Amino acid sequence: MRISELSRRSGVPVATLKFYIREGVLPAGVATAPNQAEYGEEHVRRLRLARVLREVGRLSVDQIRAVVAAIDDERLPMHELFGVVTRALGPSADDPLPDDVAAATDDVDAFLRDLGWTVGAGAPARRSLAEALAALRRLGRDVGPEVFVPYAKAADAIARSEMDQGPPAGSRAEAVEWVVVGTVVFETALTALRRLAEEHHSAVRSTRGRDR
C-alpha cells in the first residue's frame, strides 16, 4: 500500500509516519519508484505497537526506537529481551549517581543477592529501587531494603505466573512483541490495580472505624 493508505489504515498522519521512518521507529517501505514506496501489514502492526508504547507506556520516541531495535534484532535470545526492554525503559545509567543513591545501591544489591535473584549488574531497575530507598531516607525514614519485602514477594508471584503462561504461539516477532507488551501494558495495569486496592482497603478500614 502507499503511504497515504498506511496513514488511513493506522490513523497516523503522513508527516508522523515520515518522522517515525527518519527516527528508526518504522522501517522504510520498499521503493517502487522515485519518491514512492510500498508498505505492508508489518508496518500497520509496528504502528499499533508504537501507539501502545506511546499512549499506555508513555514511552519517548528514543525509548520506542530502542525497543523496536531489540524486537528486530533476530540474534537476540528471547530470555535476554526482558533485560533489553527494561534497559530501554529505565533511567539512563549515564546520569551521575548522587552519594545517597550510591549507598542505597549497595543495600539493594545485597537485598537482591539475599532474594537469590539473578539480575544483570547494569539493570536500570536496580537503580530505580536504590532511588526509591534513598528517597525514603531523604524524607527521614530510617529504613533498610527489607522495607521492600512485601513488594518483592508480590513481584515474584507475578513474574512466575507470567512465565508459566509463556509467549503465545506464533512467529518470533509475535512472541517478542508479547514480551514487550507484557512489560509495558501489565505494568500500567499493576500500578492502576495497586492504587485501586489501596483506595478500597483504606475505605474499608475507615468504615470499620480503625482509621480514625
- Footprint of its own copies on 20-39 (CB under 8 A): none
Q: Is residue 8 within the footprint of its own copies (CB under 8 A)?
A: no
Q: In this structure, what C-alpha cell is assigned to residue 124?
A: 536500570
DSSP summary character for residue 146:
G
Segment contacting its own copies (CB under 8 A): 12-20, 23-31, 32-40, 82-90? 82-90
Answer for which of 5, 42, 62, 211 binds its own copies (CB under 8 A) is 211
Nearer of residues 33 and 142 to its own copies, judged by Cβ: 142
165-203 burial: b if 16+ Cβ within 10 Å, else e:
eebeeeeeeeebbebbeebbeeeeeeeeeeeeeeeeeee
Q: Match 520516541 to its residue by C-alpha cell.
A: 61
* Site for its own copies, residues 85 to 144, rule: CB under 8 A: 86, 89-90, 112, 117-120, 123, 125-126, 128-129, 131-133, 135-136, 138-140
Distance in angstroms (rounded) separating the CA atoms of residues 149 and 4:
52
Q: Scanning residues 153 to 172, which ones bind its own copies (CB under 8 A)?
A: 153-163
CB of 76 to its own copies, least distance (A): 12
Cβ at position 148, least distance to its own copies in Å = 5
**2, 48, 66, 97: residue in contact with its own copies (rule CB under 8 A):** 48
The DSSP output letter for 145 is G
Sign of the C-alpha dihedral computed for residues 45, 17, 53 and 118 taken in this order: positive
Pick the piece of the chain touching its own copies (CB under 8 A) from 16-24, 27-35, 61-69, 186-194.
186-194
Is 173 a binding residue for its own copies by CB under 8 A? The answer is no
- Total number of residues shown for the chain: 212
Between 2 and 137, name the residue whose CB sits nearer to its own copies: 137
Nearest to 173 by CA among 70, 50, 89: 70
Contact 111, 148 (CB under 8 A): yes
Q: Which is nearer to its own copies, 22 or 58 (CB)?
A: 58
How many residues sit close enough to its own copies to count as binding (CB under 8 A)?
Answer: 74
